[in-house]
Structure 1
Amino acid sequence: MRHIGIMGGAFDPIHTGHLLAAEAARDAAGLDEVWFIPSAVSPLKSNEPGVSGEQRYEMVCKAIEGNETFRALDLELHRGGVSYSIDTIIELQSRYPDCSFAYIIGSDRIHDLHQWHRINELAERIAFIGLERPSEALRIEALPNWLKQRLTMVDMPAIGISSTAIRRRLAEGRSVRYAVPEPVYQYIRRRGLYEARPID
């Protein structure tokens, strides 16, 4: 049985913080691999992604290239509509019966975990790996006991990078080099994504 961590989200764009989080979870939880699955439409975020699903998926692929323990899947983009984790897990468990799965989630997702679509069924199928940042206060005690029992906390390196801040900097014509992996930086610049200044 292979143990797989799932990193979901818009990845709009994927950045160094995502990769650090995935590696921290893989190392601390003894995962065999981490699979990155860009969402089509997030059920918990009202803002639409800034670029197409295909472009976000391509950036993920470029970001993880060369890491044999990281993998990108576009199944939520192909499915379309709102990306509910329970639908993704049911599909993954059907496709990969030799794998066990755990969702890797940040502190913001830990707080709203009880609001996830069909969370009772999801928690029966998988576990959760929570990333704890030293600078953020968590209220894990507010979660119901049956959910806390499915949650394992791991330390997350402190890094102040967000996709929102990256998009804002690009829109202002400022550099995001090293906030995103170099292949992603080059991809954004060449295509002028997020109103980035194109490479001459």
Structure 2
Amino acid sequence: MKRKGILGGTFDPFHNGHMNIAYESLYRLKLDEIIFMPAGSPPHKSDKVITSPEIRYDMIKQSITGEEKFKVSRYEIDKKGYSYTYKTLEYINGVEKNTELFFITGVDCLMYIDEWKNPSKIFELSKVVVLNRPGYNKADIMKKKNEVESKYKHNIIFIDIPLLDISSTQIRKKVSKHEEIKYLVPKEVYAIIKNNKLYI
């Protein structure tokens, strides 16, 4: 049975922190593949201006060229309506036969998982993997992890790794202030941001 990680997000823009998470998850969980899943229309960001899905998809596609164990999916981009994680996992389970799925997310998502659409289904369809993020207390994380595990009767895999303190919000702000971001994003993403005059 193959082991595949699903790493979703808005990826606006895709950055080196995302690559770090993907590699660490690949190694720590002994995965065969990481599937990046850029959101098409995320319901929790319906009130925000988001870069076009095609550009965000292209950022990832160009950044992972040559990476044999990294793939990017168009599923959420091409589907109509909001992108719900449990629906995405249902779809992937339908097309990826004989595969164990690992849904990889940040601790910030763990903190409000009860607000997600059908969280119990997410646990049924995948092993949920939570990675730490800068600014969170480990004791608080463990407390929430235990509460969620008890409620949904499924274990959560917590990966405590040194993370790059990079966020898409930080990058967009830097671009708007004409500050350098070359050290924060893959060179392919840097070119796309410049060529499309994004975030200015």
TM-score > 0.5 by shorter chain: yes
Q: Which residue number in structure 1 is paired with residue 94 of structure 2?
A: 94
Q: Which residue number in structure 1 is paired with residue 64 of structure 2?
A: 64
AA in 2 matched with 1:158: L
Correspondence 1:38-187 to 2 at 5 A = 38-133=38-133, 135-137=135-137, 138=141, 139-147=144-152, 149-187=154-192
For structure 1, the residue ranges without an aligned partner over 5 or more in a row are 196-200
Q: Please report how far the alpha carbon of residue 153 of structure 1 lies from its aligned counterpart in structure 2 after TM superposition.
A: 0.8
What is the DSSP-based 3-state SS (H/G/I as helix, E as strand, rest coil) of the residue aligned with 2:44? Answer: coil
AA in 2 matched with 1:18: H
For structure 2, the residue ranges without an aligned partner over 5 or more in a row are none
Q: Please report how far the alpha carbon of residue 150 of structure 1 lies from its aligned counterpart in structure 2 after TM superposition.
A: 2.9
AA in 1 matched with 2:177: E
Contact 1:140 1:148 in 2 (8 A): no
Contact 2:10 2:38 in 1 (8 A): yes
The count of aligned residue pairs is: 195
Contact 1:106 1:130 in 2 (8 A): yes
Q: Tell me the TM-score normalised to structure 1 length.
A: 0.90
What is the DSSP-based 3-state SS (H/G/I as helix, E as strand, rest coil) of the residue aligned with 2:45? Answer: coil
Q: Please report how far the alpha carbon of residue 14 of structure 1 lies from its aligned counterpart in structure 2 after TM superposition.
A: 0.6
What is the DSSP-based 3-state SS (H/G/I as helix, E as strand, rest coil) of the residue aligned with 1:129? Answer: strand
Is 142-151 or 184-193 further displaced after alignment? 142-151
The counterpart of 1:193, out of the listed 183, 194, 198, is 198
In 2, Cα distance between equivalents of 1:178 and 1:188: 14
Change (3 A) 1:105 1:148: farther
In 2, Cα distance between equivalents of 1:61 and 1:49: 22
Deviations 1:126-154 (A, max 9, x none): 11111124752113233241547331011
| 1:14 and 2:14 aligned | yes
AA in 1 matched with 2:163: A
Q: Which residue number in structure 1 is paired with residue 36 of structure 2?
A: 36
Change (3 A) 1:18 1:71: same
In 1, Cα distance between equivalents of 2:153 and 2:117: 17
Change (3 A) 1:48 1:134: closer
Q: Please report how far the alpha carbon of residue 44 of structure 1 lies from its aligned counterpart in structure 2 after TM superposition.
A: 2.6
Change (3 A) 1:155 1:49: farther
Q: Tell me the TM-score normalised to structure 2 length.
A: 0.90
* RMSD, aligned α-carbons: 1.7
Deviations 1:97-136 (A, max 9, x none): 2222111011101111232211112211211111124752
What is the DSSP-based 3-state SS (H/G/I as helix, E as strand, rest coil) of the residue aligned with 2:4? Answer: strand
In 2, Cα distance between equivalents of 1:15 and 1:63: 9
In 2, Cα distance between equivalents of 1:3 and 1:93: 12
Q: Please report how far the alpha carbon of residue 17 of structure 1 lies from its aligned counterpart in structure 2 after TM superposition.
A: 0.6
